[in-house]
Amino acid sequence: MTEGFVTAVNGNMVSIQTEGIVTMNEVAYILVGERRLKSEVIRIRGTSVQAQVYEITKGIRVGNRVEFSNELLSVELGPGLLGQIYDGLQNPLPEIANKVGYFLEPGLYLRALPRDIKWHFTPLLRKGDVLKRGMGIGWVPERYFRHIIMMPFDLYGEWKVIEIAPEGDYTIDEAIAEVADSKGNKRHIRMCFSWPVKRAVDCYSERLKPSEPLVTKTRIIDTFFPVAKGGTYCIPGPFGAGKTVLQQVTSRHAEVDIVLIAACGERAGEVVETLKEFPQIIDPKTGRSLMERTVIICNTSSMPVAAREASVYTAVTIAEYYRQMGLDVLLLADSTSRWAQAMREMSGRLEEIPGEEAFPAYLESVIAAFYERAGIVRLYNGKEGSLTIGGTVSPAGGNFEEPVTQATLKVVGAFHGLSRERSDARKYPSIHPLDSWSKYDGIMPKSTVRYAHSFLERGAEISAMMKVVGEEGTSLEDYVIYLKSEFLDAVYLQQNSFDPVDAAVSPARQRHVFKLILKILAADIRFSDKEEARNFFYELRQTMLDLNGTPQDSDMFNALYNRVDAALVDREPEFDNRGLKLMSTLE
């Protein structure tokens, strides 16, 4: 084992003198009294090594001994991950609380997976079968999933099964198989193994193009700016615009198998909302608590900064592991800016030449590489698994021109830009309908969405013009278009996340309501004046808002739906042909 000693301390960076062999990004422990503080090697120059310490560095002295582990920063993968709450280095926070109470303790590291649980293992192979890394050996039931026990991802080459355990109960430390390669090297396989977080898991036969929509049950996303399974998207927005609430809502309602929540450098209180509420919320699809499909990685703003940098990687690696079982996984990271800032802090201490706003020059490539870990893949067994990544961005001053937002926009497939103007006016979710975009196909035919969107565009133009020429200078025709766009905004784009019904809208319901909205948009109604037009649309809005709060399978829902329809038909409007045709595509 390589050893060394501390020669300098500057913030959370230490310099170490060593004569031995050192690997980039390997973990080193700094010995301070009884404590062993974890750190990661981030620069090697001759016999001088710099490491970022994952703990408060107070108390470290020049001369303190350092032990190099010869292992990259890794996570432990195996059954027992679901429902866990980890810090950025995969320490289970509930167990830390059990051990030391209210506060975190520097240098206290616990095993990530429970060792005492016996998992019921069923083999999927026989003696003599040949395996590659990432292929299934057997499975155990974890929560309501079939957790595939796989060949460790770091066993490169082909291996033959020479021993396999019979169906039965085993802990993750017991060998369930033995394999040998062509040279006769033998390995025992256990149900858990580790993988370095900064290397993408690549045990699949091919990457596919994301095409199927990932349903979030938020109307403005699913209908207007959809996300695809295996795709990427970002949510930049100024503080208080609703990034976190939007991700919380998504983490509850998204139609995926597994959700990874990476609370990266933001408020601890928000994670608490999730981790206290999820165990109580029953997922209607599975009948099980939401916590059972969730893993929380929580390295909030007052926890050590270097571990914050690691936390997003810890999360994405666990996400890739579950994708490898043929599941649909969603990773929500809040906020990627805090991760970028952690990189900036370290880059400053290394005295690297700073780029824009003092971010390191490699910011863009690091962000790109992170989002590249998303994707839909075909596994060796022909099944498909997907990992979707959605990251919030917290731009300085709310200005999207800053480096992190710009670097992110270059690589993601959808952009949900939150607007201060809309959040100030309590128009939630405050995704700006004109600035945002998505490259993916959603749950509606694109042409219908484009038609509806054109009203938003024209409505915005007319509204801007009205600011100059006043209402009286606006034609009745334009004014009605403006009212239609406001109506669409109020009853469809806006959605009340705190209303039990409105918070999550199924694709079927979205289509049903959207059809009615298209009809309203397509209707050419004669009004005598603007006052009459406004009253008409306010009345419609009122009924639609009531409708949005009513469960779809109720009589009330149909009554309200028909009331809107009747109010429209009563005015004997003429219908725009294009709109009518589009409506029929939603049948």
Partner 1 sequence: MNKIYSRIESIVGNVIAVEAQDIAYGELAQVNTRYGASLAETIRLDGKMVYLQVFSGSRGISTGDEVRFLGHPMQVSFSDDLMGRIFDGAGEPRDGGPDLTENLITIAGPAVNPYQRIIPREMIRTGIPMIDVFNTLVKSQKLPIFSVSGEPYNPLLARIAMQAEVDLIILGGMGLKYDDYLFFKDTLEQGGSLSKTIMFVHTAADPIVECLMVPDISLAIAERFALKGKNVLVLLSDMTNFADALKEIAITQEQVPSNRGYPGDLYSQLAARYEKAVDFSDAGSITILAVTTMPGDDVTHPIPDNTGYITEGQFYLRDGHIEPFGSLSRLKQLVNAKTREDHRSIMDAMIKLFAAYRDTLEKKSMGFQMSAWDRKLLKYGELFEQRIMDLSVNIPLEKALDLCWETLAECFEPRETGLRSDLIQKFWIGKK
Q: Which residues bind ligand ADP (CB under 6 A)?
A: 237, 239-245, 428-429, 497-498
Told to check if 401 binds partner 1 by CB under 8 A, we report no
Query: Looking at residue 353, what DSSP letter applies?
Result: P
Q: What angle do CA 403, 42, 402 make, to 5 degrees?
A: 5
Least separation, in Å, of the C-beta of 422 and ligand ADP?
A: 10
Tell me the residue type at 331: L
Told to check if 438 binds Mg ion by CB under 5 A, we report no
For residues 265 and 300, the answer to whether their CB atoms sit within 8 Å is: yes
Alpha carbons 80 and 142: distance in angstroms, whole number: 7
Please identify, using beta-carbon distances, which residue of 176 and 333 lies nearer to ligand ADP.
Answer: 333
**In the bound complex, which residue of the shown chain has the CB atom lying closest to Mg ion?**
244
3-state DSSP call for residue 217?
coil
Please identify, using beta-carbon distances, which residue of 234 and 480 lies nearer to Mg ion.
Answer: 234
Alpha carbons 430 and 308: distance in angstroms, whole number: 27
Told to check if 507 binds partner 1 by CB under 8 A, we report no
For residues 276 and 94, the answer to whether their CB atoms sit within 8 Å is: no
For residues 15 and 50, the answer to whether their CB atoms sit within 8 Å is: yes
Q: Name which of residues 335 to 354 contact partner 1 (CB under 8 A).
A: 338, 341, 344-345, 348, 351, 354
Please identify, using beta-carbon distances, which residue of 174 and 502 lies nearer to ligand ADP.
Answer: 502
Q: Name which of residues 463 to 482 contact partner 1 (CB under 8 A).
A: 467, 470-472
Alpha carbons 453 and 39: distance in angstroms, whole number: 51
Please identify, using beta-carbon distances, which residue of 101 and 382 lies nearer to partner 1.
Answer: 101
Told to check if 545 binds partner 1 by CB under 8 A, we report yes
Told to check if 94 binds partner 1 by CB under 8 A, we report yes
Query: How many residues at the interface with Mg ion, by CB under 5 A?
Result: 2
The only residue of 154, 372, 424, 565 in contact with partner 1, by rule CB under 8 A: 424
Alpha carbons 421 and 489: distance in angstroms, whole number: 14
Please identify, using beta-carbon distances, which residue of 249 and 379 lies nearer to ligand ADP.
Answer: 249
Please identify, using beta-carbon distances, which residue of 196 and 355 lies nearer to partner 1.
Answer: 355
3-state DSSP call for residue 13?
strand
Cα within 13 Å of Cα(536), Cβ side: 23
Told to check if 267 binds partner 1 by CB under 8 A, we report yes
Helix H or strand E encompassing 540 = helix 530-548
- State the binding partner of 360 from ligand ADP, partner 1, Mg ion, none, CB within 5 to 8 A by kind: none
Number of Cβ atoms within 10 Å of the Cβ of 126? 8
**Orientation of helix 446-469 relative to helix 507-522, angle to 10°:** 50
Please identify, using beta-carbon distances, which residue of 194 and 394 lies nearer to ligand ADP.
Answer: 394
Site string for partner 1, 69-88 (x = CB under 8 A): ----------------x---
- State the binding partner of 242 from Mg ion, ligand ADP, partner 1, none, CB within 5 to 8 A by kind: ligand ADP
Please identify, using beta-carbon distances, which residue of 144 and 239 lies nearer to ligand ADP.
Answer: 239
CB-count exposure of residue 24 (10 Å: 0-12, 13-18, 19+) = exposed
Please identify, using beta-carbon distances, which residue of 157 and 279 lies nearer to partner 1.
Answer: 279
Least separation, in Å, of the C-beta of 495 and Mg ion?
A: 18
Please identify, using beta-carbon distances, which residue of 270 and 328 lies nearer to ligand ADP.
Answer: 270
Alpha carbons 205 and 380: distance in angstroms, whole number: 6
Least separation, in Å, of the C-beta of 125 and ligand ADP?
A: 47
* 102 alpha-carbon distance from chain centroid: 28
Helix H or strand E encompassing 41 = strand 35-45
The only residue of 268, 369, 476, 566 in contact with partner 1, by rule CB under 8 A: 268
- State the binding partner of 237 from Mg ion, ligand ADP, partner 1, none, CB within 5 to 8 A by kind: ligand ADP
Told to check if 305 binds partner 1 by CB under 8 A, we report yes
Site string for partner 1, 17-56 (x = CB under 8 A): ---------------------------------------x
Alpha carbons 46 and 169: distance in angstroms, whole number: 50
Cα within 13 Å of Cα(254), Cβ side: 30
Please identify, using beta-carbon distances, which residue of 243 and 323 lies nearer to ligand ADP.
Answer: 243
Please identify, using beta-carbon distances, which residue of 268 and 566 lies nearer to partner 1.
Answer: 268
Alpha carbons 577 and 46: distance in angstroms, whole number: 75
Least separation, in Å, of the C-beta of 417 and partner 1?
A: 16
Query: What token pair was written down for 54?
Result: 């994952």
The only residue of 150, 201, 271, 330 in contact with partner 1, by rule CB under 8 A: 271
The only residue of 40, 142, 266, 489 in contact with partner 1, by rule CB under 8 A: 266
- State the binding partner of 13 from ligand ADP, Mg ion, partner 1, none, CB within 5 to 8 A by kind: none
Please identify, using beta-carbon distances, which residue of 4 and 238 lies nearer to partner 1.
Answer: 238
Told to check if 257 binds partner 1 by CB under 8 A, we report no
Q: Name which of residues 221 to 260 contact Mg ion (CB under 5 A).
A: 243-244
Least separation, in Å, of the C-beta of 102 and ligand ADP?
A: 25
Residues β-bridged to residue 42: none
Told to check if 532 binds partner 1 by CB under 8 A, we report no
- The residue range among 137-145, 180-188, 420-428, 551-559 that interacts with partner 1, by the rule CB under 8 A, is 420-428
For residues 154 and 74, the answer to whether their CB atoms sit within 8 Å is: no
Please identify, using beta-carbon distances, which residue of 96 and 296 lies nearer to ligand ADP.
Answer: 296
Q: Name which of residues 149 to 168 contact Mg ion (CB under 5 A).
A: none
Least separation, in Å, of the C-beta of 268 and Mg ion?
A: 12
Alpha carbons 232 and 316: distance in angstroms, whole number: 13
What are the Cα distances from residue 96, in Å, to 92, 105, 112? Answer: 6, 8, 11
Alpha carbons 220 and 431: distance in angstroms, whole number: 8
Alpha carbons 208 and 211: distance in angstroms, whole number: 9
For residues 97 and 275, the answer to whether their CB atoms sit within 8 Å is: no
Pairing of strands 186-190, 3-10: unpaired
Query: Looking at residue 221, what DSSP letter applies?
Result: I
- State the binding partner of 490 from partner 1, ligand ADP, Mg ion, none, CB within 5 to 8 A by kind: partner 1
Pairing of strands 206-208, 375-378: antiparallel
User: Residues interacting with Mg ion, by CB under 5 A?
Assistant: 243-244
